[in-house]
Structure formats: C-alpha cells, structure tokens
Amino acid sequence: MSRIQLVALTDCADQPWRNGGGTTRDLLTWPVGATAWQLRVSVADIDRDGPFSRFDGVQRWFSVLAGAGVRLQLPGGPVTLTPADAPLAFDGADAPGCTLLAGPTRDLNLMARHDAGRARMQRALPAQPLEGRPCWRGLYVGAEALLQAGGTDHRLAADTLAWSDDPDAGRWTLADSAGPAWWLTLEA
C-alpha cells in the first residue's frame, strides 16, 4: 500500500507577490527537501490586474477555482478562463498579462520543470479513475471528497491536496465529491 500525503490549504502561509497583485500559498514543492523544485503546486489569490511571474524552462497549468475569472494575454492571443473552464497549459516563459473579469479570483497552479517530465492538470469526475502510472500524482479538492487509493478510502477536507510520488500507488478514484476537483500528474 502506498503512502499518501495530505496538505490543507489552511496550513500554508501566504506569500505576497513582488508586484503586490496577490498572494500565493505553496501546497507542495517536490521533491520535498530538495534545494530546487521539479514540481510545484500552489493556490494564488489574484487581487488586481498585472503580469504573471516569468518561469523559464517551466510548464504551467492554471485553473480558476473561485471568482468570475481572468483574461490572460498569451502569445497566441487572449484566453478567458472561468471556474467552468478546463485548466490551461502554457509555457512559464510567456509570463502572460492577467486581467480580472469582475474582481479577485482564486486559482490553482501546477508548474513542472521541462526536464522533470510532462505535467498535466485535468478535472476529476466522480467514479472515473486516474489513468496511467505517473511518477507523481495528486488530487486537489475544492470541497469535501472521498479518494479511493490503492484499496483504501481517504476522506479529504475542502481545499486539500492529496499526493504520492510512488509510481506503484495503485488505482486512484475520486469516489465522491461535494464540489470540483482536479487530477495533477507528472510523467517522467
């Protein structure tokens, strides 16, 4: 049976942005204890319009958790994202400008260095298992949920990240959820 780590958003400290446009709470930088992260999961509260930070050599995934949404100015043109939209992947070097649609938002971020592997964020739907055998996997839940992992049930509080870096973690299924949830993976 694999070991699953749980990280509650309420246990993570706010880190103000240099440009003053918001705050970020790191749920995880992985590998844990390493001097440089290969993968990072965070939740950001965006309070005003402004550019994203630039992350060269990093693949970014972004999803709106709460608020009306944002418009990101990417090299291919503007992209509007609301809580109803699928997560968006883009190159961290792009550092898009961000315009709030109607007030502050809360957003989920997954970042992975290009040399760490291929990251992915997707909506998790009840009763649909996570496919594949990633070297790192996570589930972020916006509301209370039940995760079945490797034959064990795990009750998750709202705004919690469950994760494992055991590629033999067994099948993960979001068995029940009171709200939205996201699968996060890294494949080497």
> Which class does domain 12-115 fall in?
mainly beta
Q: Do residues 42 and 27 lie in contact, with contact meaning Cβ atoms separated by under 8 Å?
A: yes
Those residues with Cβ within 8 angstroms of residue 16's Cβ, 6 or more apart along the chain or in another chain? 22, 23
| Residues listed for the chain | 188
CATH 2.60.120.10 in the chain: give the residue spans.
12-115, 118-187
As to burial, measured by CB atoms within 10 angstroms (0-12 exposed, 13-18 middle, 19+ buried), residue 26 is: middle
Tens place of pLDDT per residue across the chain (188 aa)? 458 999 999 999 999 987 788 999 999 999 998 889 999 999 999 999 999 999 999 999 999 999 999 999 999 999 999 999 999 999 999 999 999 999 999 999 999 999 999 999 999 999 989 988 899 999 999 999 999 998 899 999 999 999 999 988 889 999 999 999 999 999 98
Give pLDDT, residue 1. Answer: 42
Q: Do residues 8 and 157 lie in contact, with contact meaning Cβ atoms separated by under 8 Å?
A: yes
pTM above 0.85, yes or no: yes
Give pLDDT, residue 2. Answer: 57
Could you give the count of Cα atoms lying within 13 Å of 11 in the half-sphere of its Cβ? 10
The rounded Cα 73 to chain-centroid distance in angstroms is 20
Give pLDDT, residue 163. Answer: 97
> Which class does domain 118-187 fall in?
mainly beta
- Reduced to 3 states (helix: H, G, I; strand: E, B; else coil), residue 69 is coil
